[in-house]
Amino acid sequence: MKHLFNVTKLLTGALFVFSGIVKLNDPSGFSIKLNEYFDVFAEDVAQRQDSIRLKVQLDFETITEQTFVLYPSDDIKNLRLNLSVDSLQGIDMEYKWGGIEGVPIQKPERLQLPSKIHAFVFGKDGSVIEKSLFLDSTQVLKSQIQTDFTYDIRNLVKSSGMLSAIFKACKSYSLYFSVFFCALEVLLGLAMLIGYEIKLTVVITALLISFFTFLTGYSAYYNKVTDCGCFGDFLKLEPWTSFKKDVILSLCVAILIAGWKHNKVVFVRAKGHFVMGILTLATFGFGIYCYLYLPVWDFLPYKKGNDINYIMNHIPEGERASDSIQVQFVMQKGSDSVKVSTLEYAQYAAKGYSFVRQDRKMIIEGYKSPIHDFAIYNLATGEDLKDKVLQSNDYQLLFVMPFLSETDLSCLENINRLYEWTKSQKVNFYALSSASLKPVKEFKKKYGISFEIFAADQKMLMTMARYNPTLYVFKGSIVIEKYSGNNLPDPAVLEEIIRVK
């Protein structure tokens, strides 16, 4: 038992230190993963409601709105929406996304509508249950369009309660939770390795492992979070793999509890307190540094040296280029309903069966590139700038601000100076944000910003910018350098980079 205890203690401690440091290296990334869990629990503890509300909007202006009553027997709900060019008349606004700024929507013959229109499904309490992009709006100008929305009511129809509100509120503190739990994991591992306060260390470890075993088991069984984030972006584990790992760690904890009388300390008690105090300060300091100045070890797809264009388009050998999907149609005739394949559809249609819905089942998932959502748009004109950025051979600066409201404003003076330098050097400069045109205009006016801010996908920006903001230096589509907003380079540094490269 003595030898089993010592081996288990060393292996468990080393794993905790490794896992904790990998996550602490990127605390912003782990906080994003925590937000996924908070969203899952907020949804799962919410209560079923008796109605939902469908609202269709152009930007912030409502085109149409309709309430649908739900019944206890509802599993699938069809929401039918009729939308025509007449729906767009009389809306006094300037359309921003994908339109021409300043052209009122009362003159649709002159308006370049966006390719998609926003639809929101609201709960009874006013919370957004689903946000979709639908409907080729160029067709709206030609004729009336009838669109059917099919929603799985079992998953979507929820009303917020107290527990749900608590989990949602936790999202505001996810970064603090991230640093704390990652640092705790490292410190527990270090305490095991030096045999420090073994009973207290093992008890806290047991509580932590019990919680994460439940978490990974819940995620795996209900397929809620597809990657637990146990090893950050260094190593992604499937849900069941994560659960099995935690079950093995639970057995390790049981061995540690059974054999802790065999523990040997490296330092005497007083010196042990001092050593753990120093390690605690160093561990938390490392996590805070990695948040403020970007990860020390970069495992992200936008790391230095990566060719974004190549990653987006390269399919590794042996991987499928697309998904293999089984499509079945639910058809109904009177009280009889059947589920048929594509080949059988015409046969049953000839018998008088009518279409109800289409079910799609994934058979084999195709390869999904680590970068599959890279896109940049001009907010005023809707122009897609992705190819212009990725096909360029020139140096480019991308200034990434995922959320304008959370941007560290202390670096704006420096970034304005860099922007003026890019103009003099004819270097392309793209400031990116997930905000719409109105907030962007207000932000620029409030802080006296002269450069244009373009639109990009929120998830893409959060992956690129672990600190808000982050500056990228591209050579064509290759990442040359990246800087946290806390240590933006001087123009002289960028000149040296361009000269050397």
Q: What mean pLDDT, rounded, does the chain reach? A: 81
Hey, what are 329's tokens? 């149609």
The pLDDT score that the predictor gives to residue 226 is 72
How confident is the model at residue 390, as a pLDDT? 93
pLDDT digits (tens, 9 = 90+) for 78-110: 555 555 545 544 443 333 323 233 333 333 333
Q: How many CB atoms lie within 10 A of CB 222?
A: 11
Dihedral-angle region of residue 442 (phi above 0 means left; psi in -120 to 50 means alpha; beta otherwise): alpha
Query: Which residue has better confidence, 103 or 429?
Result: 429
The 3-class SS string of 108-143 reads: HHHCCCCCCEEEEEECCCCCEEEEEEECCCCCCCCC
- For the chain, percent of residues with pLDDT exceeding 90: 45
Kindly list the domain boundaries of the chain, sorted by start residue: 2-43+164-293, 51-156, 324-364, 376-500
Comparing 61 with 257, the larger pLDDT belongs to 257
Please tell me which residue, 190 or 61, carries the higher pLDDT value: 190
Other Cβ atoms less than 10 A from the Cβ of 127: the count is 16
Q: Confirm or reject CATH 3.40.30.10 for domain 376-500, answering yes or no.
A: yes
* CA dihedral over 454, 458, 459, 465, signed as positive or negative: positive
CA 148 to chain centre: 28
Identify the sign of the CA torsion 61, 67, 68, 71: positive
Start-to-end C-alpha separation, the chain: 59
DSSP string for residues in 312-343: HH---TT--SS-EEEEEEEEEETTEEEEEEHH
pLDDT of 156 strictly over 70: no
Q: Which of 143, 138, 65 is nearest to 98 (CA)?
A: 138
Whether residue 130 has pLDDT greater than 70: no
- How much is the pLDDT for 485? 94
Q: How far apart are CA 358 and CA 327, in angstroms?
A: 7
- 374 phi/psi in degrees, rounded to 5: -70, 120
pLDDT, tens digit (0-9, with 9 covering 90-100), for 275-308:
999 999 999 999 999 999 999 999 999 999 999 9
Q: Which residues lie closer than 8 Å to 386 by C-beta, 6 or more apart?
A: 374, 375, 376
Q: Which residue type occupies 450? A: S
Residues facing residue 54 across a β-bridge:
66, 121
Q: What is the pLDDT of residues 374-415, one digit of tens each?
A: 989 998 888 889 999 999 999 999 999 999 989 999 999 999
Per-residue pLDDT of 54-82, as tens digits, reads 666 655 556 666 676 665 555 555 555 55
Q: Residue with structure tokens 């936008």?
A: 302
* Structure confidence at residue 92 (pLDDT): 36
Distance between CA atoms of 398 and 470, rounded to whole angstroms?
8
The pLDDT tens digits for 208-228 are 999 889 888 888 887 777 776
- Using the CB atoms, write b or e for 273-282: b if 16+ within 10 Å: eebbeebeee
Q: What is the pLDDT of residue 79?
A: 58
Residue type, 477: S
DSSP 448-484: T--S-EEEE-HHHHHHH-SSSSEEEEEETTEEEEEEE
The residue whose two tokens read 């929305």 is 149
Burial, 133: exposed, middle or buried (Cβ in 10 Å; 0-12, 13-18, 19+)? exposed
